[in-house]
Amino acid sequence: MIFNIIFFSLLAIIILAAAIYAVVQKDLLYAVIATGVISLVLSIYFFIMQAPDVALTEAAIGIALTTIIFVITIRNTSRREDEIPVNKEPDREEETK
């Protein structure tokens, strides 16, 4: 009983840490790997809760295909999050002057 609680909360902490890392990190390639880790631990979770169909689907699609599609998109746009130029609108104060 105590082993169940420790094991499940450890997996949940891994998912939470990977999700926060994926949001905060500026280098997008690392964030994509963190998303893959979330899918992997989620697939383990589904399997422990006795749902092998969902675990197989999540493993095949979330780990392999979603990661590779994101990597191709990052290759075509930009690698870091803060170097994309943003077209700023002119300020209202400058127009009325």
Partner 1 sequence: MKRAFILLLLVVVGWVLADTFSQINFGESRMGDIKQQETVGAYYLNNTVEKLSVANVVTAIVVNYRGFDTLGEVTVLFLAASGLASILYRRKKRGEHDVMILKNSSQLLQTGAKLIFPAILVLGAYVFIHGHLTPGGGFQGGAIIASGFLLMFMAYKDYHVSHNVLTWVESVAGILFVSVGIWGLISGATFLENVLGTGTLNDLISGGVIPLIYIAVGFKVAAELTGVLETLLNFKTEK
The half-sphere exposure of 10 on its side-chain side, counting CA atoms within 13 A, is 7
Q: How many CB atoms lie within 10 A of CB 17?
A: 13
Q: Minimum distance from CB of 69 to partner 1 (Å)? A: 6
Q: Which residues bind partner 1 (CB under 8 A)?
A: 52-53, 56-57, 60-61, 64-65, 68-69, 72-73, 75-77
Q: Minimum Å distance from CB 68 to partner 1?
A: 6
**Judged by CB, which is closer to partner 1: 72, or 96?**
72
Residue the block writes with tokens 């963190």: 34
